[in-house]
Amino acid sequence: MQLKEWLFLSLANKLPAFGSIDRNRWKLLRLAGMNIKGPNTVFGPLTIRPLNGTKNIFIGKRCFFNTEIRFGCPGAKVVIGDDVGVGPRVSFETTSHGLVYQEEKGRGSIYKDIVIEDKVWIGAGSTILLGVAIGEGAVVAAGSVVTKDVPSYCLVGGVPAKMIKKIDTDMSKNSNGSK
């Protein structure tokens, strides 16, 4: 299985950025072992650690993934819903280490799933850490480090990410909140 994963992931990452390729790259990721429904747009490249980690990634439909996305998922899942947008250089990290070093054991590893619900936007350069759930329609500002769950329909940002405001879902208003 690892050879198949390596082959199709390498192919998906080496193909040039081009409209029809970007709209179909998800099919190669599925062949590599990723649980991806599609259709999705993937600019690539994606980094998936460790090899054989694709089996821990679950992606819905109509998602958009910009360039240089990293999935660190050796012992837990990354679950991404439908209609999710992911900016460039976003990292999903399902693993952490203990604070105390123990002789002959090291720091040990902790694994927890990450869950991204439908219609979420994650801004460029953000990091989503283990155990985090991001609620439907939430927005993560660029450069944020998300260490705690994010409620649905709110904007979070910063290091660590904190609530900035609730998102008004009234469609009669424009994007800046004025009528």
Annotated catalytic residues are 97
Tokens 């869950």, residue?
Answer: 115
Give dist(CA 59, CA 11) in Å, integer: 19
From the list 115, 34, 118, 56, the residue with the least C-alpha distance to 84 is: 118
Largest CA distance in the chain: 63
Q: What are phi and psi of 22, to 5 degrees?
A: -60, -35
- Residues 91 and 127: beta-carbon distance below 8 Å: yes
- Residues 140 and 134: beta-carbon distance below 8 Å: yes
Q: Which helix (H) or strand (E) is 85 found in, with range? A: strand 85-86
Count the residues in the chain.
179
Sheet arrangement for strand 91-93: 46-49, 69-72, 91-93, 127-129, 145-146
Give dist(CA 90, CA 170) in Å, integer: 29
